[in-house]
A and B are shown apart, each in its own frame.
Chain A
Amino acid sequence: MAKETHKQEFEIMRHDLVPLHEVISEEEKKQLFEDLNITPDQLPKIMDTDPVSISIGAKPGQIVKIVRKSHTANEAVAYRLVVESND
């Protein structure tokens, strides 16, 4: 499939403009939901077919932590729920 070949061609995570993504553990996940008082579906989403998801091997149901550079704060942390893509 196309997405497999992409992975071999270019390691996007090493690119300067791609922020740090990592799958968080179950405990962290529980803590996050508790801190924000939310259910998983209230998080922003990322598709499992997203090049980043493929690259870090995120599976639907998992949560990806993203650490971006920010103009206002130096580092901004965001979380996304991995979802199954439509196609």
Chain B
Amino acid sequence: MERPRSITKKIGSINFSLLSPNEIRKMSATKVITADTYDDDGFPIAMGLMDPRLGVIEPGLRCKTCGLRVGKDKCPGHFGHIDLAMPVIHVGLVKTIRDCLRATCRDCGRLLLTDKQKNEYREELDKYKLEGRDNTYLLKQIIKGCVKSEKCIHCDREIGKIELDKPTSIRENGKKLTPSEIREWLEKIPDEELPFLDIDKKSARPEWMVLTVLPVPPVTVRPSVTLESGERSEDDLTHKLVDVIRINQRLQENRDAGAPQLIVEDLWELLQYHITTYLDNQTSGIPPARHRSGRPLKTLAQRLKGKEGRFRSNLSGKRVNFSARTVISPDPNLSINEIGVPMEIAKELTVPVKVTSHNLEWCKQMIKQKTDSYQEMEDYTPSVNYVIRDTEGMKQRIKVTERNAEEVAEKLELGSIIERQLMNGDITLFNRQPSLHRMSMMAHRVKVVPYKTFRFNLSVCPPYNADFDGDEMNLHLLQGEEAQAEAEILMKVQENILSPRFGGAIIGGIHDHISGCFLLTHRVKKMSSDYASHILAAIGYEGGLPKETVEKGKYVSGKDIFSTLLPDDLNLEYRAKTCLNCEVCNAPKCPYDAHVIIKKGRLLQGTIDENSIGAFKGRILDRIIRDHGMDAGREFIDKVTRMGITAITLFGFTTAIDDEDIPEEAKRQITEGLEKAMKKIHGLVKAYENEELESLPGRSLEETLEMEIMRVTGRARDMAGEIAGKHLGLNNSAVIMAKSGARGSMLNLSQMSGCVGQQAVRGERIHRGYQYRTLPHFKKHDLGASAKGFVASSYKTGLTPTEYFFHSMGGREGLVDTAVRTSRSGYMQRRLINALEDVKVENDGTVRHSGGQIIQFKYGEDGVDPARSLDGNAVDINRIITDIKEGN
């Protein structure tokens, strides 16, 4: 889009310096003397804090200083000033004041250095400046050098010890210096010596650090708001300024009336407090100024500082237009690079389109389609919300309604811009916070859908770390062709399947996709041609039914159905997730169908599970992406997930608590095993008590006992799991999920049917609670299994009350750990990002930061992009060798 014609200027440099009292008076529109804002009639009081000369906030009113209004011509507001009765120290500058006092003589104001030293330092400083080096250390050194002297070299005066009494008082030899005295002292420091104190003599004088005049910010900076009740509510800054003026006035009156020194000093102190809190209300050492309600006031420093401050909240980050946010929900029928956008959102979000001679008719048609009434989903027709007409540099924004659509369409000129509603196929950015890696924001193609949630394919949940328990996500519309092209090339979901962390896929089949493929391909699945065509239709397969191999053409094999997804040149051989790691592996002839062989795009044997299509380890997925590119990868994921889901719905798949049922015999075995373990622990405790236990190297006796017991309890749980697992076969849905890697683990199952096992807090058996015991249900000094958090029950049989308590203790630790970890790693990441934000890889392969400094001579020392690497290697040698051997 074109920018309005204006003079562009480049900022050459910014110089921060101190305001001199004269400058403050010069820029002041009025002196402020009344500690009040509005009179009874609601008009601002002249020379009060809301004086109209300080600018206006109400629309229509004219500013008394510049004559401009709030709205279009925008009066920027004007500063006022308060003359302070007595000088006051600026909190932000106390440290510099202290250094200045320490380094100079109170009588003559000169630096406590001999001329020779001074020349040396000057040369050094000049050298640093020439080399562009940081001179803070040297400047500190200079001040340190001055502090050492006991007598002034120039006038023989004794040098007192200057101490800073936080936050704002300074003592000389234990005697407090008043701000007036400090100001007089600072005035004596000659200009030529300022560079040694890190002060630029062109822009500041040290005595300006002691305030005699306080600038009053314009009303635009501290606008008052009118509440519904008609009451005026003032900004925190105004409140603080009221305090300052009030005390300032009392101080002046008292001093002029010749009040006792003590009273004047008290008021002076109070003025100092108010000005300090006005500048920074979180100064340590003084109580923060509070609102009537008890809330601490937000004063100048608080406006800028921290996460909610101006910098981080308004300048580094901003709220944006052309974005939407709503709840997310799954839709397995969408492609992974699509996103379902509710119609209501689609009608609100727009993309600018320039009207040219090529698209004029189309644009007119779009405008004419405008309907304001409710649209049924079936006939969603994107239209135009605004037409922007550019006539002689004046931009005219016309809202298109049903009523004026015809007219606007007819009047449409070349060169205008129409703001077109969202259409299917538009490219958008989709994002979920916290955005921890680049896959947290990816480009999706729009598909307008009914209802009110964003919809996307389940395979894209892991990169966003999203689930559907109420998560909301954001959508951003790209407004320019350039941005759209860039997103298309760099940010589309399929471009991000390979993680830059390790070069593997992070998008792949999950949960039911894996269970479904497992059911379809495990051993020989006989499928009637009806079923087979149903599944093949779901993936949009075109072509003949796969060879009907099983039983004289009566059935189709599940493996053959799966093979339709594989490219013809695919050759792979690997172990499936279901592999049991048998001691004697009969490799190609695996009795469990866990050895996958794919030849020429046909699945000859083996089961498809997590190791084939899952994210992170999916071998087929990985190979397809590498050999056939990202788009083929996307298509494969789309189809494999759809096939998995169709298959699982066809076969039926359910799990319930009776999946964890085990026979009585097994239960007896488990109880026996647990009893044996208890006895063993008892024996260990006995041995420890009789001091017969032999300690392990480097461990105390107690530690040895604990370790031995932990070992026994761990083994007891494994034993229970093993026995339970023996009775849970692959006819069990829960086991299928665990073995195929879809969800859950065998440990989860054995905890449900066998034994939950030892609960631990900080990696040790639970030992805290009452004196010498964990709970009052046990004897003191009981070191047995159940007294220290061993849960012998299973989730299915239910836990005893004490077991339940221990289990909660273990569970609580997990919760606390995650809470602590997220906050800590969040801050760690923030610091890393701030440190690395402008480091980038240059075209020559070096890594440099914005200053041109070289950080790394070759990116990653080997110049390999990890996203395109294989386990960090640029070339997969093994692959090349096997390919050559097999003559592919």
Using CB atoms and an 8 Å cutoff, list the residues of chain A in contact with chain B.
36-38, 42-44, 70-73, 76-79, 86
Contacts and interface: CB of A to CB of B under 8 A. Distances in A.
A66 to B, nearest CB: 10
A38 B863 CA distance: 19
Given A36-B846, A72-B872, A86-B137, A44 B854 contact: yes
B853 A76 contact: no
30 contacts: A36-B844, A36-B846, A36-B854, A36-B857, A37-B844, A38-B852, A38-B854, A42-B848, A42-B851, A42-B852, A42-B853, A43-B853, A43-B854, A44-B853, A44-B854, A44-B855, A70-B862, A71-B861, A72-B860, A72-B872, A73-B858, A73-B861, A73-B862, A76-B857, A76-B858, A76-B861, A76-B862, A77-B857, A86-B137, A86-B138
Nearest to A32: B857
A76 B863 CA distance: 11
B138 to A, nearest CB: 8
B146 interface: no
A72 B862 CA distance: 6
Contacts of A76: 857-858, 861-862
A72 B861 contact: yes
How many residues of B sit at the interface, in one of the four size bands? Answer: 10 to 19
Given A36-B846, A37-B844, A86-B137, A70 B852 contact: no
Chain B interface secondary structure, helix, strand, loop or mixed?
loop
B864 interface: yes
A57 to B, nearest CB: 23
Contact of A79 (B137, B855, B857, B860): B857
Contacts of B137: 86
A32 to B, nearest CB: 10
B876 to A, nearest CB: 16
A83 B860 CA distance: 26
Given A38-B852, A72-B861, 17 more contacts: A36-B844, A36-B854, A36-B857, A37-B844, A42-B848, A42-B852, A42-B853, A43-B854, A70-B862, A72-B872, A73-B863, A76-B857, A76-B861, A76-B862, A77-B857, A78-B856, A86-B138
A71 B860 CA distance: 9
Interface in B841-888: 844, 846, 848, 851-858, 860-864, 872
A63 B535 CA distance: 68
Interface in B809-851: 844, 846, 848, 851
A78 B857 CA distance: 6
Contacts of B853: 42-44
| Chain A to chain B: the 9 pairs with minimum beta-carbon distance, closest first | A73-B862, A76-B861, A72-B862, A70-B861, A73-B861, A42-B852, A72-B861, A72-B860, A42-B853
Nearest to A35: B844
A36 B848 CA distance: 11
Interface in B123-153: 137-138
A87 B90 CA distance: 34
A72 to B, nearest CB: 4
Contacts of A42: 848, 851-854
Contacts of A36: 844, 846, 854, 857
A78 B612 CA distance: 42
Contacts of A43: 853-854
A78 B860 CA distance: 12
